[in-house]
A and B are shown apart, each in its own frame.
Chain A
Amino acid sequence: MKVLRAVVVLAVLVVAAYLAYRYLVQPPGRSADTITVYYCKTDGVTLVAWKVSRDPRMDPNKVAFYATAQALAGPPVSVEAIRFPAGTIVKHVDLSGSTATVDLGGTISRSAGGSFAESGEFRGLIWTLTALPGITAVQIKVDGAKVATLPGGHLELEQPLARSSF
């Protein structure tokens, strides 16, 4: 009886170990598991796409959150790009229908940048999010609330932005 119990326990452990092994060595970064992140060049007009890998298990909300964080960070620092103010963070992203609501915080709530920067920053973010399946518009919030504009007072953020907004 003791031998049988030991065999059963061992079998269970081996199965569990195999499952854990499969989980742990799941090959990362399949070619399809990338998202396209856009940034605006410093000419203020040209959008450039770059790919970043993502965890294939991310659900759409996570992907949108991750894409937003990538767009806020921008491309590698050696690349000239119009960037959000350093210290801008994404607090929450919510998908509802075809609209992504992005709640930003940090430096941007105190930012009073020029129209040039605002335009390039949000152009890249909106293009990044609307490149994700099913998202056509982006509602921006700052610290949980809708705002008419950033403190600098240029780009209108009260209504959802779409690619056609630019």
Chain B
Amino acid sequence: MSSNNPWHVRASRHFPALCAASLALLLPIRSVAAPAPAYWFAGTNLIFTKAQTHGGELAVALDDPSLARFLIKLNATVAYDPGSRLVIVTSGDRRVVTFTLGDTRFENGPLLERAPFAPYAVGATAYIPFVTLAKALYVVPVKDGATTVLQPQIGGLDVRTRDRVTTVTLSSAVPIRFKRTSPGGSERLTLVFSGVASTLETKRSIGGSAELRGVSIQSGGTARNPTTTMTFDATPQTMHVLANSDTPNVIAVAFAKSGVGLSGVPIPDAGDAASVIAAAPRPSSSAPSTESSAGPSDEYAPVGSEVPAEAAIPPPPLGSPVVVTSLDLLPADAALNVRVGVSGPVRYEWHRLTDNRWYVDLKNAMLGIPARDEQPPGSAATGLRVRQLAGDQNPTVRIAFTLVSPRQVNVVASDNGFTIAIGGLDDLEPQRVGTGRVAGGMLIASAPLANPGDLWSTPAAMLHPIVPTNPKLIVIDPGHGGSDAGAAHNGLTEKALNLDISKRLRAILVARGWQVEMTRYTDTDVFAANGSAHDELQARCDIANNAGARMFVSVHINSYTDAALNGTTTYFYKDSDRALADAVHRRLASVGTADKGVRKEEFYVIHHTTMPATLIETAFLSNASDASLLKLPAFLQRVAVAIADGLGDYASRNPVNATSTSDGS
């Protein structure tokens, strides 16, 4: 058994004991349901009602209410997947502790440790060794007379030096509360942490840091109310701040010489880690809203309430229904082309469902041929249905396919109508919805498509025949609104700022000759209060799609837990929309905050709009500097002007007749 593996060495030394233990394992194991010992923790007795003693140790069921309370106090979570036998606990300081049913070994972050007994399941309930779990979460049982106190600890101290900044990160079992006892501005920083003890070494020298010599740690208080005093011995002329952390169980203190940029907040006389965390975005009814205060300034014309919701451009009136005069199926190897003849111009809207059904609705259309329900030729689709959907008021013809897989589908204009071209290949990132308009008898291709297979060799540009029904229309989407406030920081709410900027943008665009529609004109939901995100976002897309807009721009403000982040980001999703995002961002990048670039992201509203679309994250509400800018009407106006300039740049470089205004698929 010679081995360099310490596990082997240790195991060999203990072979007799392991034999005995192994023999013991062969004997029937008794888990006894007995009154579990009570633990004192955070001012209350934890009495486990779903617990067993297992070889003298306490096994607690994952669904025990006291265990749940215990974990909540620690800011920890537990996930149990019966199928995989894993119990994964994430501590408040973001370590992962993984137990496996039937295995005494468990992973505590990067360490492999061993529990006194293997976690096990009784029915659908898993039982885990409680004390082992508690210790892994930096909670140590301490005797206090006859009572066992579960004492939270500061269990982690990590020191890193980078770019002339030394950062000390402390991890605690529970959310951190502290008092600073050293005078402000002193090189020696002393913090007293209440409610936690420490098992860390009492003195630690910091090597390789020009800012910090060492840390000394002293435990005090009582078993039930411990304290830990930490003294940071900084070098002369070193400043310190509280750096950001995203969990209240962790606090980070950054040290740097004066003159070096330090990101963080001054350390208060007393505080907690949570106070330095940029709070997660929460709507706040008491937060002052800029919506009502978005008054006029000297720099721009007031845009407050001049634009009533009724100003929305109404859909074009319906004329006589067009008639579907023919429907021919033209298989081509693995592809299928369906040529549809119509008597005149027709608007359509197609949808792709998640189960590979695809259908197109022809608006204001009557079926002039018999309804069909059949299996089409070829291997691209297994079903075809053609039918009349509605009556005289809103007649619609629906042509539906059941595809064999998420096949590529394009709608292209063809002789006396259009062709639905189902490709032989799958669309890896299929669009779900699209709209457009084709004119019967008008050809997009220069010649009739005699050979259906040609559709798949047609240049991509030829497959984008849909032109905006209103090439002068821009739809502005002020993000969030109504029951969805978006982010809220620094006394500002995102929904109000989005609307403010959008109104300014609308005024500028109208002055420049554009028609502008907004998805909302007031602080309201677009679909319905507290509706689903899908309904809300799709309603915004529908406004732009149904109006046949030329461009779509969604206005947002960013936020993040790290208050240090700031800047402007412009997003696109469809590759064909990159040019629009670039044009807008080129103008936005100089408005006054940092430039975070142009990025591709699958955001809903820029995915499901069929015209060129972009989403702008103007600045970070969670950043003090950006927030102060966002409070300035002049800044909001600069943003609106920049967006308008960018939209104008794009429009002038991409005139409608040369633009792909829909992906057509």
Contact = CB atoms under 8 A, between A and B. Distances in A.
A69 B78 CA distance: 10
B90 A113 contact: no
Contacts of B19: 17, 20-21
Nearest to B169: A78
Interface residues of B, number: 92
Contacts, number: 224
Given A62-B84, A152-B281, A166-B601, A86 B94 contact: yes
A11 interface: no
Given A28-B105, A28-B112, A42-B565, A69 B90 contact: yes
Given A116-B558, A148-B534, A156 B487 contact: no
B535 to A, nearest CB: 8
A77 B250 contact: yes
B615 A69 contact: no
B562 A80 contact: yes
B280 A61 contact: no
Interface stretch (B5-13, B225-233, B453-461, B582-590): B5-13
Interface in B157-194: 158, 160, 167, 169, 171
Nearest to B171: A77
Contacts of B156: 77
Interface residues of A, number: 71
A155 B573 CA distance: 11
B7 A28 contact: yes
B105 A86 contact: no
Name which of B100, B107, B112, B428 has the most chain A CB atoms within 10 A of its CB.
B107
Given A86-B75, A149-B533, A16 B22 contact: yes
Nearest to B534: A148
A138 interface: no
B88 A65 contact: yes
Contact of B18 (A21, A53, A111): A21
B56 to A, nearest CB: 20
A65 B101 CA distance: 15
A84 B419 CA distance: 45
A14 B228 CA distance: 51
Given A91-B81, A92-B83, A151-B533, A165 B429 contact: yes
A159 to B, nearest CB: 7
B110 A87 contact: no
A74 interface: yes
Contacts of A162: 428-429
B601 A119 contact: yes
Contacts of B534: 147-149, 158
B537 interface: yes
B86 A77 contact: no
10 closest cross-chain pairs (CB), A and B: A20-B22, A148-B534, A25-B11, A78-B169, A114-B559, A78-B158, A62-B84, A17-B19, A69-B88, A149-B533
Interface of B: 5, 7-8, 11, 15, 18-19, 21-23, 25-26, 75, 77-79, 81, 83-86, 88, 90, 92-96, 98, 100, 103-105, 107, 109-110, 112, 156, 158, 160, 167, 169, 171, 245-247, 250, 252, 280-282, 354, 428-430, 432, 479-480, 484, 486-487, 532-534, 536-538, 556-562, 564-565, 569, 571, 596-597, 599-604, 607, 615, 617, 620-622
Given A69-B88, A115-B603, 7 more contacts: A20-B22, A53-B112, A74-B94, A78-B169, A151-B533, A152-B281, A153-B536
Interface of A: 13, 16-17, 19-21, 24-25, 27-29, 42, 44-45, 52-55, 58-59, 61-62, 65-66, 69-70, 72-74, 76-78, 80, 82-83, 85-93, 105-106, 111-117, 119, 147-156, 158-159, 161-162, 164-166
28 contacts: A16-B23, A17-B23, A21-B11, A27-B8, A44-B569, A52-B110, A55-B100, A62-B84, A62-B86, A65-B81, A69-B98, A72-B90, A76-B94, A76-B95, A77-B158, A77-B169, A77-B171, A77-B250, A78-B169, A89-B78, A105-B79, A112-B281, A114-B558, A114-B621, A148-B604, A153-B480, A155-B602, A155-B603
